[in-house]
Amino acid sequence: MNANAPLMTPNGPLARPKRLVVLGATGSIGDSTLDLVTRAPEHYEIAALTGHGNIDKLAELARRHRPRFVAVGDAGQGAALADALAGTGIAHGAGPQALLDAATIEADLVVSAIMGAAGLPPTLAAIEAGRHVALANKETLVTAGELVTRRCAERGVRLLPVDSEHNAIFQVFDAVSPQTVEKVILTASGGPFRTWTKEAIAAATPAQALKHPKWTMGAKITIDSASLMNKGLELIEALHLFPIAHHQLDVLVHPQSIIHGLVSYRDGSVLAQMGAPDMRTPISFCLGWPERRGTPSARLDLTAVGSLSFEAPDLDRFPCLALAKAAMARGGTATAVLNAANEVAVAAFLAQRLSFGGIAETVDMALEAAERRGALLAGYDLSTILMIDADARRWAEA
């Protein structure tokens, strides 16, 4: 895959500001991205922004960054967005087509930071339009990894991983000699329930699960981090991002969240990337790529950290990780079913309609039901995967 234009010219980095689309601009990754953009107006300009419900914030971001187009995913919010942008002259739209329009507007890089599989259609549309993508939305690869990476290769599109573990691995993975790689290891903080008993975890409340020890993120990924489903989704994400097999992937619990990812090689060398836990570091790496730019992220002080510790993940107390590994090994549409059922279960848990233990039970039952209904297929196209996603959601909801 050689897709340096238009991120780079034959003589080096772009001489003009890079034009960015931010899908999911009102979220946590959106905040960090736009913070970097605000600090470096000489490097970046905003071509389009999208949000979902938070119109006041979306309109305020639009007034500050002056994009050519703003989209709200929720079709019912179109009039509110029009009101909020009145007098600005900024073009806007609402609903699924507006998200696709934002994703495909003329730009150099699309930051994909919508929450959940809702990010798949606009991300794939950006790829089809030949836009390079800085990918935070891991559900895109979990749901349709084979399709997305195949289209990237065919369209000459580069996928730059924003997720901190994958960004770390991207930095230390020898892409020129992938056959020398033995293992790719993702670290996990272990989340708020790392030391809890199985019974206590099963009965945990949303307030307890939302208290992540190291990272401040959107609600869905924070719950996934507490169940370790996030690490399972990240294993699947890594399988699609790097030329490796699933048996080469490992998870290492590392509560300090200083080492973000490791690659071990056949000569016994292990290369790791470290940094203070701040998403602006991996986001900046993707925005600036192939240049490494400055960020205001805290500098790592290892004497202040003192010591780093590691432990194996406990699949018995964290069954979501085991379910994700099994779905990854199965491949095809199994990971889309896993993701859809998990999204529904997490929303139900946050709405206090499901126990924390019920998340893994729902995902497990959804996979079994999909197997019985013949929905675990090896190959798929976009319409099949959207149908299987919707079907798994309906099933999990029921």
Contact status: 283 vs ligand NAD (CB under 6 A):
no
Neighbours of 239 (CB within 10 A): 24
- Decide: 166 and 238 in contact? Cβ < 8 Å: yes
Residue facing ligand NAD at closest CB distance: 27
* Nearer to Mg ion (CB atom), residue 107 or residue 238: 238
Given the complex with ligand NAD, which of 28 and 149 has the nearer CB atom?
28
For ligand NAD, the closer of residues 95 and 130 by Cβ is: 95
Of all residues in this chain, which one has the CB nearest to Mg ion in the complex? 163
Q: Is the peptide bond before 319 cis (omega within 30 degrees of 0)?
A: no
Residue 364 makes CB contacts below 8 A (sequence gap 6+) with 319, 323
**The pair of three-digit structure tokens given for residue 333, joined into one six-digit string:** 């549409």
Distance CA(216)–CA(52), nearest Å, equals 20
User: Residue 28 or residue 297: which is nearer to ligand NAD going by CB?
Assistant: 28
Q: How many residues bind Mg ion (CB under 5 A)?
A: 3
Alpha helices by DSSP H, listed for 131-192, are: 138-155, 164-172
Decide: is 113 part of the binding site for ligand NAD (CB under 6 A).
Answer: yes
Find the shortest distance in angstroms from Cβ 141 to ligand NAD: 10
Segment lying near Mg ion (by CB under 5 A), choices 156-164, 242-250, 274-282, 368-376: 156-164
Q: How far is the CB of 88 from ligand NAD (least distance, A)?
A: 19
- Each residue 233-272 as x (binds ligand NAD by CB under 6 A) or -, in order, gives ----------------------------------------
# binding residues, ligand NAD (CB under 6 A): 24
Q: Quote the DSSP letter at residue 41.
A: T
Helix 138-155 / helix 229-241 crossing angle, nearest 10 deg: 10
Q: Which does 115 bind (CB under 5 to 8 A by kind): Mg ion, ligand NAD, none?
A: ligand NAD
Structure tokens at 53: 């419900």
Which CB sits closer to ligand NAD, 82 or 377? 82
CA distances from 153 to 111, 128, 210 (A): 18, 11, 37
Binding part of the chain for ligand NAD, among 39-47, 111-119, 183-191, 343-351 by CB under 6 A, reads: 111-119
Residue 224 contacts Mg ion per CB under 5 A? no
Out of 139, 146, 237, 278, the residue judged to bind ligand NAD by CB under 6 A: 139
Coil, strand or helix: which one is 221? helix
Using CB under 6 A, which of the segments 3-11, 78-86, 186-194, 213-221 binds ligand NAD?
213-221
| Distance of alpha carbon 152 from alpha carbon 132, whole angstroms | 9
Which residues does 216 contact at the CB level (< 8 Å), separation at least 6?
A: 28
Residue 233 and residue 221 in contact, taking contact as beta carbons nearer than 8 Å? no
Cβ proximity to Mg ion: between 50 and 225 the closer is 225
Residue 290, preceding bond cis, omega within 30 degrees?
Answer: yes
Structure tokens at 159: 């996928």
Q: Would you count residue 163 as binding Mg ion (CB under 5 A)?
A: yes
Please tell me whether residue 221 binds ligand NAD under the rule CB under 6 A: yes
List binders of ligand NAD among 34-53 (CB under 6 A). Answer: 51-52
Can residue 62 be called a binding residue for ligand NAD (CB under 6 A)?
no
User: Per residue in 184-199, is it b (16+ CB within 10 Å) or e — as a string?
Assistant: bbbbbbbbbbbebeee
Residues 168-179, buried b or exposed e (16+ Cβ, 10 A)?
Answer: bbbbbbeeeeee
Residue 73 near ligand NAD by CB under 6 A: yes
Indicate the residue among 137 and 164 with the shorter CB distance to Mg ion.
164
- State the Rg of the chain over Cα: 20
The residue range among 12-20, 155-163, 174-182, 197-205 that interacts with Mg ion, by the rule CB under 5 A, is 155-163
Angle 389-394-398 (CA atoms, 0-180°, nearest 5)?
145
Residues that bind Mg ion (CB under 5 A): 163-165
Residues that bind ligand NAD (CB under 6 A): 24-30, 51-52, 73, 113-115, 118, 136-139, 163, 215, 217-218, 221, 279
